[in-house]
Amino acid sequence: MGSFPRIRPRRLRSSKYLRDLISETSLDISKLILPVFVSEAIEKPIETPGLEGQLTYPSDSSNLVNFISEALDLGIRSFLIFGIPKIKNEDGIRAYAPDGPVQVAIRNIRKEIGWDPLIFTDLCICEYTSHGHCGIPLNSRKGDVIDNDSTLKVYQKIAVSQAQSGSDFISPSGMMDGQVKAIREALDDAGFNDVGIMAYSVKYASAMYGPFRQAVDSAPRFGNRKSYQMDPRNAKEALKEVRLDLDEGADIIMVKPAILYLDVIRLVKEYYPEVPLAAYNVSGEYAMIRSAIKLGLIDETQSIIESLISIRRAGADMIITYFALDAAKIISSGKEIF
């Protein structure tokens, strides 16, 4: 009898209730942020190109309000709004126009629903520009590059415009040096001291953005974004980027993408445990899982929840994900998963 093991980890896995009781990581609906696409170029909701199961809504439509209301009913409280203009130009002026797609959408939501939804607004100009870059091009002897400092002036205009429309958090995603400081100064000068900043602090030049770029037609028309987005080979560099954004006034920091960069999420959380950390489960990650589900290769319920649990387990406090509605429905159903 003495040869049999006395310590049996299996004892703690013998029932669902016991597994739930000792589980180390939880996935709560309140931790999910739902991306929402709004467009001023459509009159009714359309399937979002490249993102199966996602819709793009007219900025001023009742359909958008109904969609936000349904998500609220499921327990989702936070939304990240992306805008698609009718006309693009080199400077992306529709990004800060008072009647731009994001501005109209926010005012529509606030008018019909009120201040219950927590609204984050993506701040970038790639969706709004004819060239598809996140900043203003500058012709130089080095070739076509992005003019960091003139771009910051555009970001300031966008931030104030979004805040005036009712945004709770400005989310700069362009990876321009000094963007958080410039945006914080512009918001404070305009009297929006209480509007927060969720910074895309650690944003990699990843292949995982393809479906998003198709959805908003933002693929660069020349060159690439490797000169301002981070090199996928670097992890420790993320700590420098986070430190800079925190010193400049960021309230929440973000790692993007999520699943392919779980090690970076863990590293950032270990170094900055006191700072709220978001992770963006990006379009390419969503599309890969969705495709495998469609082919019948993986279980839909468990793969969605397991993928999000991995991001939480790595250290993310909140997750921006296209699976937010699916996850909310699964969690609300009480269906056994693990």
Which segments of 204-269 are extended strands (E)?
A: 252-256
For residue 181, give every residue at least 6 positions away whose Cβ sits within 8 Å of its Cβ, in sequence order, or none. Answer: 248, 249
User: Which residues carry out catalysis?
Assistant: 203, 256
Per-residue pLDDT reduced to its tens digit, 160-179: 999 999 999 999 999 999 99
Q: What are 179-192's pLDDT values in tens digits?
A: 999 999 999 999 99
pLDDT at 213 over 50: yes
What mean pLDDT is predicted for residues 122-129?
95
Binding residues for Mg(2+): 241
Q: Is the pLDDT of residue 8 over 70?
A: yes
CATH of domain 26-333: 3.20.20.70
Specify the DSSP class assigned to residue 29: G
Cα separation, 188 vs 17, whole angstroms: 49
Annotated binding site for 5-aminolevulinate: 213, 225, 283, 322
DSSP three-state, residue 73: helix
Residue numbers in the known binding site for Zn(2+) are 124, 126, 134
Domain boundaries, the chain: 26-333
| pLDDT for residue 216 is more than 60 | yes
Q: Identify the band that residue 144 occupies on the pLDDT scale cut at 50, 70 and 90.
A: low
Lowest mean pLDDT of 51-55, 89-93, 257-261, name the range.
89-93
Give the pairing type, strands 55-58 and 46-47. Answer: antiparallel
